[in-house]
């Protein structure tokens, strides 16, 4: 297991913190360790509504604290149940801008018992920064997070 996965696992398995704190620590770790992760946060399904609500995050405050299903990259992933890698956000029509500095984005769904309960969203100030290894690590992370939700 990679060093970063080991550190993420120890946060997820820690008996000392509740889920909210664990999610915040996950964001902090990813933000610190990966230089091109410039906004890292979680969104979750907002109760029975067809919308996402912002959870723990690290980065600039965003206007998009509620995102209707289907809107933006996040809203599309809420419906597709699949990872969405955007190498260049300027090429996307259905995109919600959080910051003029953001150039790329990756959103990975959190699936629990076959149901899409939320996602991790990462913005980068670099064009096309995300590697296959990042994607694999984030998909692994979302599977691990699902277990504590
Ligand atoms: N860019 C996202 C909105 C969320 S912010 O990046 C934090 C989107 O298009 O869904």
Domain total of the chain = 1
Starting from the edge strand earliest in sequence, which strands make up the sheet with 104-112, in order? 66-68, 51-58, 39-45, 115-124, 104-112, 84-86
Give the ligand 1 atom nearest the CA of 102. Answer: 6
The answer for 96, left when phi > 0, alpha when psi is -120 to 50, beta otherwise, is beta
C-alpha distances in angstroms, 82 versus 25, 106, 136? 24, 11, 13
C-alpha distances in angstroms, 25 versus 30, 32, 133? 9, 10, 21
pLDDT digits (tens, 9 = 90+) for 80-122: 999 999 999 999 999 999 899 999 999 999 999 999 999 999 9
For ligand 1, residues with CB inside 6 Å are 39, 62, 64, 67, 72-75, 95-96, 98, 105, 121, 123
Q: What is the pLDDT of residue 95?
A: 97
Which residue range(s) make up the domain with 83? Answer: 2-148
Q: CATH number for the domain including 79?
A: 3.30.450.40
Average pLDDT of every residue of the chain: 97
Q: What is the pLDDT of residue 1?
A: 84
The pTM of the full predicted model, rounded to 2 decimals, is: 0.97
């Amino acid at each position: 297991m990679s060093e970063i996965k080991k550190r993420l696992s120890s946060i997820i398995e820690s008996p000392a913190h509740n889920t909210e704190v664990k999610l915040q620590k996950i964001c902090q770790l990813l933000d610190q360790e990966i230089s091109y992760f410039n906004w890292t946060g979680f969104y979750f399904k907002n109760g029975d509504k067809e919308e996402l609500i912002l959870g723990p995050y690290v980065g600039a405050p965003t206007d998009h604290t509620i995102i209707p299903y289907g809107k933006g990259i996040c809203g599309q992933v809420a419906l597709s149940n699949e990872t969405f890698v955007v190498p260049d956000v300027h090429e996307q029509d259905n995109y919600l801008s959080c910051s003029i500095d953001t150039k790329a984005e990756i959103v990975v769904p959190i699936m629990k018992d076959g149901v899409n309960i939320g996602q991790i969203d990462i913005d980068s100030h670099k064009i096309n920064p995300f590697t296959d290894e990042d994607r694999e690590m984030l998909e692994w992370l979302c599977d691990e997070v699902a277990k504590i939700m």
